[in-house]
Structure 1
């Protein structure tokens, strides 16, 4: 697949080029396959690709997956990909997530302060910014139909048996870095989770044939 001509920020590009997707286990590849199949079928049928990443609080894993998926679509030049995130409840985007993304090379700007701040997250000078804030999965900001719901945590997957409007519901769960909050390992563990997520999404998008 051709690489995108919308130039990613150099720090992000460098990080992507150092990823090791060959370390992903066969078991995990099986978990990722339904998402690859969903994207591929949409590409083949020249349809828009909407993906809503869902977690309990829409504060950590769902944002990391949303941002990295949108970035991978750009990197692999997969057109018409629109990534969203939501929660079974709304809280706020956890500051360590914004910091982790910033440290990976994203340009982040706070659009509004408050208990649920809104962020502009950019991966390329000419790329459309991702708007990051916590919201419920059925928020008006998110798509109402023809999307894949990706359950990024087992609580949301178990506690939310029905996602209205979802064409596919795919569990791809990640361990919560929250368990390391307020510990000396916090920054390292958020970085570790972010790297796992981008490596797996790199693998997914690298499989897509246009």
Structure 2
């Protein structure tokens, strides 16, 4: 049961991406279902599933995955999920990724500064998701009994052991950073945002 009415533009975006579930390859669906099984097992044991999405800089893909997973959990009324993100190093939440989220229908407020905090809203009634770049073991993230979801191959290879993680799964995405400064920048960021949104919504839909 959903507790919040989402922004109209975001609601429409979600309805469109749900129609794209069939575009997800079978191999990726298998990985996504494994994470869904982990979430379901935590629910069945009366525990909270804590998902920490990890990439190199915690600037693009890991934030997109965290935000879309949290949004999907609220959309489907799944209450036992907490989402986090981090990197092997900290930089800043990239403004191109932020704008892609705004184009999808989120409202984002930026506190300013070198590594600003961002309040990300999917509804006028909801509390914001607080997003800023940080290392995966930052004090705001869980230090035990969580799932480490590796969203880039570099982080997966360079961080073979994530302390405290009881479950680990690589669900990697191509870095939209490669389009920075090109005439395809907007297209690539929107494409990656949509891909991650579609897969995270599919994953959460399989926890019901």
TM-score (norm 2): 0.96
Aligned to 2:129: 130
CA distance in 1, matches of 2:12, 2:189: 19
CA distance in 2, matches of 1:164, 1:8: 36
Structure 1 stretches of 4+ moved >2 Å:
none
CA distance in 1, matches of 2:137, 2:90: 11
- Using the TM superposition, give the Cα deviation of residue 33 of structure 1 relative to its aligned residue in structure 2, in angstroms: 2.2
Count of paired positions: 206
SS in 1 for 2:105: coil
SS in 2 for 1:128: coil
1:146-161 → structure 2 map (5 Å cutoff): 146-161=145-160
- Using the TM superposition, give the Cα deviation of residue 206 of structure 1 relative to its aligned residue in structure 2, in angstroms: 1.1
Conservation of the 8 A alpha-carbon contact between 2:72 and 2:200: yes
Aligned to 2:14: 16
1:6 aligns with 2:4: yes
Gap regions ≥5 residues in structure 1 = none
Gap regions ≥5 residues in structure 2 = none
1:140-179 → structure 2 map (5 Å cutoff): 140-179=139-178
Conservation of the 8 A alpha-carbon contact between 2:33 and 2:206: no
- The CA RMSD over aligned residues, in Å, is 1.0
1:194 aligns with 2:196: no
Aligned to 1:35: 35
CA distance in 2, matches of 1:34, 1:128: 29
1:45-84 → structure 2 map (5 Å cutoff): 45-84=45-84
SS in 1 for 2:84: strand
